[in-house]
């Protein structure tokens, strides 16, 4: 049985003080249960503070993005090694906001995925179609293309140390969650694409759903056979709500 993984994507909010406070409140709100992994992903400049606040707890630190390059003249960028040095173990790669607002294409996302692994970070690779693409019936095609861009570049073995998040763009921050059945269909597609290359890796990898996950819909989503957790945005900024999502996860396995 795959252990559930719930990741909080805090996006670009807050101050060092408020991030540390949120981390503390999140720890307090969570129960002591260890039957799932919980990751929080604050902005870069809050990583050290949040790392300090969660030190000694079972909550894991992650980042929201990284540079595809290792070191050198890349003004404004942050490398995987720097994130690792700040205590990160996970990093989100290819979030739809990065793809849509910062021009990250499939090839760059694949390079970031590999850069994360070179730095001993577990990438959380985000895949998902836009509303327009879903309306045109292209969801499966888009997700398959995004997945294969990384699979072809990194190889199937790399997915033994990775997590994938299916995040339909039309569900992110909109309150319009995919139904458990809609999400399950795409998750099953992702797992079977991986299984075509390595059944063991496909069975073990955790596939997260993201897009307006809340305490009220988490259990139904996490109950689906190929949904192994969530990538939670807005709701992770409220400690009680995030903890309730984590509990819903625990109750569903
Ligand atoms: P949301 O964001 O939960 O606010 O929809 C999810 C995400 O962008 O990872």
Q: What distance in angstroms lies between residue 209's CA and the mean position of ligand 1's atoms?
A: 10
Residue 106 lies in a domain: yes
Name, in order, each residue with C-beta under 8 angstroms of 155's C-beta and a sequence gap of 6 or more: none
- Given pLDDT bands bounded at 50, 70 and 90, which one contains residue 250? low
Ligand 1 neighbour 231 (Cβ under 6 A): yes
User: Whole-angstrom Cα distance, residue 4 to residue 202?
Assistant: 15
Residue 24 lies in a domain: no
- Given pLDDT bands bounded at 50, 70 and 90, which one contains residue 2? confident
Residue 136 lies in a domain: yes
- Given pLDDT bands bounded at 50, 70 and 90, which one contains residue 91? very high
Residue 134 lies in a domain: yes
Ligand 1 neighbour 65 (Cβ under 6 A): no
Ligand 1 neighbour 168 (Cβ under 6 A): no
Does the structure show a pLDDT above 90 at 15?
Answer: yes
CATH at residue 180? 3.20.20.70
Domain tally, the chain: 1
Q: Which two tokens stand for residue 112?
A: 């970031």
Q: What distance in angstroms lies between residue 71's CA and the mean position of ligand 1's atoms?
A: 30
Catalytic residues: 95, 167
Q: What distance in angstroms lies between residue 9's CA and the mean position of ligand 1's atoms?
A: 7
Residue-averaged pLDDT of the chain:
96
Pairing of strands 229-232, 4-9: parallel
Q: Left, alpha or beta for 175 (phi > 0: left; psi -120 to 50: alpha)?
A: left
Ligand 1 neighbour 210 (Cβ under 6 A): yes
Q: Are 57 and 27 in contact (CB under 8 A)?
A: yes
Q: Which atom of ligand 1 is nearest to the CA of 212?
A: 5
Instruction: Give this prediction's pTM.
Output: 0.97
Residue 59 lies in a domain: no
Per-residue pLDDT of 195-249, as tens digits, reads 999 999 999 999 999 999 999 999 999 999 999 999 999 999 999 999 999 998 6
Ligand 1 neighbour 59 (Cβ under 6 A): no
Give the residue from 9, 6, 7 showing the smallest Cα distance to 237.
9
Q: What distance in angstroms lies between residue 177's CA and the mean position of ligand 1's atoms?
A: 10
* Protein residue with least CA distance to atom 6, ligand 1: 233
Q: What distance in angstroms lies between residue 116's CA and the mean position of ligand 1's atoms?
A: 21
Residue 147 lies in a domain: yes
Q: Are 176 and 170 in contact (CB under 8 A)?
A: yes
Check residue 156 and give its pLDDT. Answer: 98
Check residue 239 and give its pLDDT. Answer: 97
Q: Which atom of ligand 1 is nearest to the CA of 11?
A: 8
Residue 126 lies in a domain: yes
Strand partners, 229: 5
* Protein residue with least CA distance to atom 7, ligand 1: 233
Strand partners, 163: 124, 206
Residue 112's domain spans which residues?
72-83+95-209
């Amino acid at each position: 049985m795959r252990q559930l993984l719930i990741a909080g994507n805090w996006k670009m909010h807050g101050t060092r003080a408020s991030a540390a406070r949120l981390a503390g409140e999140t720890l307090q709100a969570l129960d002591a249960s260890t039957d799932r992994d919980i990751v929080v992903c604050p902005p870069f400049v809050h990583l050290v503070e949040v790392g300090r606040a969660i030190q000694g707890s079972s909550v894991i630190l992650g980042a929201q993005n990284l540079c595809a390059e290792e070191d050198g003249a890349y003004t404004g960028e942050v490398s995987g090694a720097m994130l690792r040095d700040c205590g990160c173990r996970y990093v989100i790669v290819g979030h739809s906001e990065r793809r849509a607002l910062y021009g990250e294409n499939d090839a760059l996302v694949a390079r970031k995925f590999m850069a994360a692994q070179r730095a001993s970070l577990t990438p959380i690779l985000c895949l998902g179609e836009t509303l327009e693409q879903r309306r045109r019936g292209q969801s499966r095609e888009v997700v398959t293309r995004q997945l294969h861009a990384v699979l072809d570049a990194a190889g199937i073995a790399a997915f033994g140390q990775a997590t994938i998040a299916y995040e339909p763009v039309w569900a992110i921050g909109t309150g319009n969650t995919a139904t458990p059945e809609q999400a399950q269909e795409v998750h099953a597609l992702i797992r079977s694409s991986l299984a075509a290359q390595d059944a063991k890796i496909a069975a073990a990898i955790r596939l997260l759903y993201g897009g307006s996950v809340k305490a009220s819909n988490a259990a139904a989503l996490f109950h689906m056979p190929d949904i192994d957790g969530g990538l939670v945005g807005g709701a992770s900024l409220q400690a009680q709500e995030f903890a309730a999502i984590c509990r819903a996860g625990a109750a569903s396995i």
